[in-house]
């Protein structure tokens, strides 16, 4: 897995490039043309978000802003309307953060433990267990939505009666807690996959030696495997972070209104049916929604790509 992704970074050992100058020009031309096509929507987004609305509606989207303004950004952040409340998206960004951080931490740690058991402490049937967990990543989530809604409704009822009795719901029925649960459950397959494939290549002799020295199950995990797991932790955390931050289906189904995550709020801003369409504010909100994952991609692109590829091929 890691090998496959790292190949991207190695220099090509292709046919010696004996292309003629014309061929080279065509190759570079095509590559640059494609690059422009891929970048154009993002550039247009950024430029639109920096223009006043009348310049957006009357001007050309490819022109640089004439009257540069940051007003759409402050409006998107602080005062634009999401549904009925007009307090911008800042609260929703915070909702997403509160959901993403625990979900990523819990699913990654569980994935690490699962991977450890499934490679170093195998038991009869370990393959079936892993296969079943792996298939769970690929199901269409439509097939679990209805039961999930029922169960979360039940949890909400428990939370209500707990609140009646003790004045505190203990997190039962809290939309953020619900989303954390949902994302942990449906992310487990991938995190387990990542750690399993990583620990598979870790020398079992080291584990055996530690066992003979009397190290316990958890000591081996903590002292031997964890210190060597930094790369796969980075891959897993980035993968989970990106997936969970970008989720829409669960967010829109289980956390409506003020507790919605960022993607749902963005969708509501853009598709509001009242008033003038404020393209510039919409774009500013979209960039804010995209910023965290884009930032991660820019600073840790290698690990990001590695995770993507590990989720697809394991060769």
Partner 1 sequence: MTTAIDPIVADAAVRGPRRDFRDRLRNWLPRIVLAPSFALVLFFVYGFNIWTLLISFTNSKAFTNLNFIGWGNYAKLWTWTFETDPPSNWYTALVNMVVFGGLYVIFCLALGLTLAILLDQKIRGEGILRPLYLYPLALSFIVTGTAWKLFLDPRIGLEKAVHDLGWTSFHFDWVVNPRMMIYCVAIAGIWQTSGFVMAMFLAALRGIDSEILKAAQIDGASAYATYRRIIIPIMRPVFMSALIILTHMAIKSYDLVLSVTGKNPGGAAELPSTFMYSYTFTRNQTAVGSASAIIMLMTIAAIMVPYLYSELREKA
- The answer to whether residue 283 forms part of the interface with partner 1 (CB under 8 A) is yes
Tell me which residue of 310, 313, 303 sits closest to 238, measured CA to CA: 303
- The answer to whether residue 5 forms part of the interface with partner 1 (CB under 8 A) is yes
Binding mask 257-276 for partner 1 (x = CB under 8 A): ------x--xx--xx-----
- The answer to whether residue 315 forms part of the interface with partner 1 (CB under 8 A) is yes
Q: What's phi and psi for 194, nearest 5 deg?
A: -60, -50
> Could you say which residues in the range 160-219 bind partner 1, by CB under 8 A?
184-186, 188-189, 192, 200, 204, 207-208, 211-212, 216-217
Q: How far is the CB of 167 from partner 1 (least distance, A)?
A: 30
Angle value at C-alpha 224, between 240 and 4, nearest 5 degrees: 50
Furthest CA-CA distance within the chain: 81
Pick 111 or 159: Cβ nearer partner 1: 111
**Please, are residues 279 and 65 in contact by the beta-carbon 8 Å criterion?**
no
What does the buried/exposed string (b/e) look like for 251-288 if buried means 16 or more CB atoms within 10 Å of the residue's CB?
bebbbeeebbbbbbbbbbbeeeeeeeebbbbbbbbbbb
Q: What's phi and psi for 88, nearest 5 deg?
A: 75, -170
> Could you say which residues in the range 22-41 bind partner 1, by CB under 8 A?
27-28, 30-32, 34-35, 37-41
Q: How far is the CB of 217 from partner 1 (least distance, A)?
A: 5
Pick 168 or 295: Cβ nearer partner 1: 295
CA atoms within 13 A on the CB side of 147: 4
- The answer to whether residue 82 forms part of the interface with partner 1 (CB under 8 A) is no
State the Cα–Cα distance between residues 251 and 21, nearest whole angstrom: 52
Long-range contact set of residues 120-126: C-beta below 8 Å, sequence gap at least 24: 120/199, 120/202, 120/204, 120/207, 120/220, 120/225, 121/217
113's CB contacts (< 8 A; 6+ apart) are 221
Pick 81 or 185: Cβ nearer partner 1: 185
One of 84, 165, 230, 313 touching partner 1 (CB under 8 A) = 313
Stretch that binds partner 1, among 7-15, 64-72, 81-89, 168-176 (CB under 8 A): 7-15
- The answer to whether residue 93 forms part of the interface with partner 1 (CB under 8 A) is no
Pick 109 or 163: Cβ nearer partner 1: 109
Pick 78 or 301: Cβ nearer partner 1: 301
Pick 159 or 187: Cβ nearer partner 1: 187
Binding mask 218-257 for partner 1 (x = CB under 8 A): ------------------------x--xxxxx---x----
Q: How far is the CB of 189 from partner 1 (least distance, A)?
A: 7
**Please, are residues 137 and 186 in contact by the beta-carbon 8 Å criterion?**
yes
Pick 90 or 267: Cβ nearer partner 1: 267
- The answer to whether residue 154 forms part of the interface with partner 1 (CB under 8 A) is no
Q: How far is the CB of 158 from partner 1 (least distance, A)?
A: 17
Tell me which residue of 294, 119, 102 sits closest to 194, measured CA to CA: 119
Coil, strand or helix: which one is 151?
Answer: helix
**Please, are residues 80 and 285 in contact by the beta-carbon 8 Å criterion?**
yes
């Amino acid at each position: 897995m890691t090998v496959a992704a790292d190949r991207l970074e190695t220099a090509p050992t292709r046919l010696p490039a004996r292309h003629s100058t014309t061929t080279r020009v065509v190759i570079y031309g095509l590559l640059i043309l494609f690059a422009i096509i891929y970048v154009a929507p993002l550039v247009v987004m950024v430029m639109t978000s920096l223009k006043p609305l009348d310049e957006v509606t009357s001007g050309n989207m490819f022109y640089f802003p004439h009257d540069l303004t940051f007003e759409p950004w402050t409006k998107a952040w602080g005062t634009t309307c999401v549904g009925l409340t007009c307090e911008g998206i800042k609260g929703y960004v915070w909702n997403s953060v509160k959901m993403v951080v625990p979900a990523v931490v819990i699913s990654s740690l569980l994935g690490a433990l699962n991977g450890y058991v499934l490679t170093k402490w195998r038991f009869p049937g370990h393959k079936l267990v892993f296969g079943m967990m792996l298939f769970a990543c690929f199901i269409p989530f439509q097939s679990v939505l209805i039961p999930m809604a029922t169960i979360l409704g039940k949890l909400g009822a428990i939370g209500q009666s707990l609140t009646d009795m003790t004045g505190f719901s203990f997190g039962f029925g809290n939309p953020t807690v619900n989303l954390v649960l949902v994302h942990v459950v449906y992310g487990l397959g991938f995190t387990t996959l990542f750690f399993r494939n990583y620990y598979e290549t870790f020398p079992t002799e080291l584990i055996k030696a530690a066992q003979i020295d009397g190290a316990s199950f958890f000591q081996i995990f903590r002292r031997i495997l964890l210190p060597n797991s930094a790369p796969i932790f980075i891959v897993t955390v980035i993968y989970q972070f990106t997936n969970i931050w970008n989720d829409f289906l669960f967010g829109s189904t289980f956390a409506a209104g003020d507790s919605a995550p960022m993607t749902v709020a963005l969708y509501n801003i853009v598709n509001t049916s009242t008033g003038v369409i404020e393209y510039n504010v919409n774009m500013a909100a979209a960039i804010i929604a995209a910023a965290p994952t884009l930032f991660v991609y820019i600073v840790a692109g290698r690990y990001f790509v590695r995770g993507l590829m590990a989720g697809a091929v394991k060769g």
